[in-house]
Amino acid sequence: MKILTVDIGTGTQDIFLYNSELDVENGFKLVLPSPTMMIHRRVKRALQTRTPILLTGHLMGGGPSAWAIEEAARTGIPVYMTPEAAATLNDELDKVRALGIHIVSEEESQKIEAQKIVLKDFDFDQIAQTFAEYGVSLDDLSAVAVAVFDHGNAPAGVSDRQFRFDYLDERIHAKNSLSSFIFPSTEIPPIMTRLQAVADSAPNLPCPLLVMDTAPAAVLGATLDPVVAKRERQLIVNVGNFHTIAFRLRSRRIEGVFEHHTGEIDRRKLEGLLYKLADGSLKHQDVFDDMGHGALVYASESFEFGQDEFDVVVTGPRRSMFTTEVDGHPSLPKPYFAAPFGDMMIAGCFGLLAATAEVMPNLAEPIHRSMRGGRETAPWDIA
């Protein structure tokens, strides 16, 4: 059985091809530039040659791609976007037009002479072609699971930070589990437009598609580290390139969570937030008023630091925030750097795999066997 997992972040897209006949450590993996970084580079090249650009396709992650598109428009280069692509910059298209960008229909886009750039977070054909060049077929997949970060489509006048955090709260109340953030492509909440755009970008997959939020996927993956897995209670922080999220867990149930923008915090501020999440004193406004998304604490009992050899589990591409000393003092609380199956960079992929086992019971048995260290075949015996 094969499952393709793709965790799409701001800096990289991390890809893991699970094969139930191999040890998890022997599964094929790729860490490649993220789609938003790829679009950023293509737009910047067009900017250098003053080439008009036409952006079509789907809503996708912003950040670097959005910055490059807005820069191109500011310089006076003609920039055209179809409505769905333009939602990458803002769900309110009048605000996109205010940037000097021309919104055109799909029909009108066919008549425009410009460099065409197709926006999408998930390009299955490109990934399949990459694997095919190494003799690996994706024709026999049992499922595809993709993670992206989705603020959701906030109504006009509603903070997208508050809107996302209300969504996190709703999902935790619906099912108190990190796997509550994964959906079959036919069951995506209508407000989660980026998740839906992933599904729309891959309409002809040979198998079921599941989509998940990147933040809980990474944290769920970190719980698979054997040292972390032994603990009943866990405080896990994912320090991403754009967003930092921490979950307080007990027996896999969520006791609390906060989410902030990585660019708005340093190590001391992050440590303070973790202490408050642990003792239950962290308030939503503490984070929201600091330009973060917010915080929720569901349990009254505090999480005690100093009881074991480490206090907080750390994962994510910016986890080095915990490796540097401040004023000559090591990090407090004491960190443990999770490496599920020996690889921190694809923790989100492992989280996707674990969540897939929960929502697709027919695939659960081989996945759980693999996560326990079972295998069926040596890698050189795979045809």
pLDDT in tens, 129-155: 999 999 999 999 999 999 999 999 999
Band of residue 261 on the pLDDT scale cut at 50, 70, 90 = very high
**Cα–Cα distance for residue pair 58/323, rounded to 1 Å:** 38
**Mean pLDDT for the chain?**
93
pTM for the predicted model, two decimal places: 0.93
pLDDT over 70 (residue 380): no
pLDDT, mean of residues 287-310: 89
CA distance 243 to 215: 8
Which CATH entry fits the domain spanning 2-34+123-218+345-381: 2.60.40, 3.30.420, 3.90.460, 2.40.50? 3.30.420
DSSP 75: T
| One-letter identity of residue 361 | P
Structure confidence at residue 309 (pLDDT): 83
- pLDDT of 228 above 50: yes
Q: Across the strands, what pairs with 143?
A: 3
Which alpha helices (H) appear in the chain, and where do they start and end? 35-48, 64-74, 83-86, 93-97, 106-109, 124-132, 160-174, 193-200, 214-222, 226-229, 267-279, 284-288, 347-359, 364-371
All CATH 3.30.420.40 domain ranges in the chain, comma separated: 229-338
Q: Does pLDDT of 325 surpass 90?
A: no
DSSP labels, 261-288: EGGG--HHHHHHHHHHHHHT---HHHHH
Average pLDDT over residues 304-328: 82
**Conformation bin of residue 100: beta by default, left when phi > 0, alpha when psi is -120 to 50:** left
The CA-based dihedral angle spanning residues 70, 74, 80, 85, taken in that order and rounded to the nearest 10 degrees: 10
**318 has a pLDDT exceeding 80:** yes
Six-digit token string for 191? 């407000």
Cα(335)–Cα(226) distance, integer angstroms: 15
Rounded to whole angstroms, the Cα distance separating 78 from 331 reads: 49
Residue 215: is its pLDDT beyond 90? Answer: yes
Q: What does the pLDDT look like over 330-378, one tens digit per residue?
A: 667 889 999 999 999 999 999 999 999 999 999 999 999 998 876 554 4
Residue-wise pLDDT tens digits, 19-41:
999 999 999 999 999 999 999 99
Span 229-338: which CATH code?
A: 3.30.420.40
Give the C-alpha separation, 88 to 120, whole Å.
10
**What is the DSSP track for 162-227?**
HHHHHHHHHHHHH-SSGGGGEEEGGG--TT-HHHHHHHHT-TT-SS-EEEEEHHHHHHHHHTTSHH
Q: Tell me: pLDDT of 383 over 70.
A: no
Which pLDDT belongs to residue 93? 95
- Numbered ranges of CATH 3.40.50 in the chain: 35-116
What does the pLDDT read at residue 381? Answer: 42
Report, as an integer, the average pLDDT of 184-204.
96
Is 35-116 CATH 3.40.50? yes
The pLDDT of residue 330? 60
